[in-house]
Amino acid sequence: MREVAEDYVEVVLDLVQRIPPGRATTYGVLAEAARERTGKGSARTVGTVMAQYGGGVPWWRVVTASGAAAERVAGRAIELLRSEGVAMTRHDPPRVDLTEAGWEPWEDGSQM
């Protein structure tokens, strides 16, 4: 895996920490928010940050644009999301219903 700048890692982890229980967001939304603060990054870079450093934050609340959990952790992520009452679709495997449970960093009114 590639190296990611420490400041970017900190921003992404801070954003993930702010996702409330019962909600989820996408790699792309996090990338957009991180770009507002750092001027750099992409959804793929957010995925790299989560894979390398995400163990100490609620990583299961970060999903793909389709609402699917990351493939390598999907079973555990779905279990944790369901335990928090996150709205899920009827897909197989299930996905987060982002229209119901989607979270965006700017919706809580706090400064980015």
Q: How many CA atoms lie within 13 A of 40 on its CB side?
A: 7
Whether the predicted model's global pTM rises above the 0.85 cut:
yes
Report pLDDT for 1: 62
Dig out the tokens for 2 from the structure.
């590639």
Q: What is the fold of 6-102?
A: Arc Repressor Mutant, subunit A (1.10.10)
Q: Tell me the per-residue pLDDT of 5-55, one tens digit each, with 9 for 90 and over.
A: 999 999 999 999 999 999 999 999 999 999 999 999 999 999 999 999 999
Helix 6-17 vs helix 27-38: crossing angle, to nearest 10: 130
Average pLDDT over residues 106-112: 60
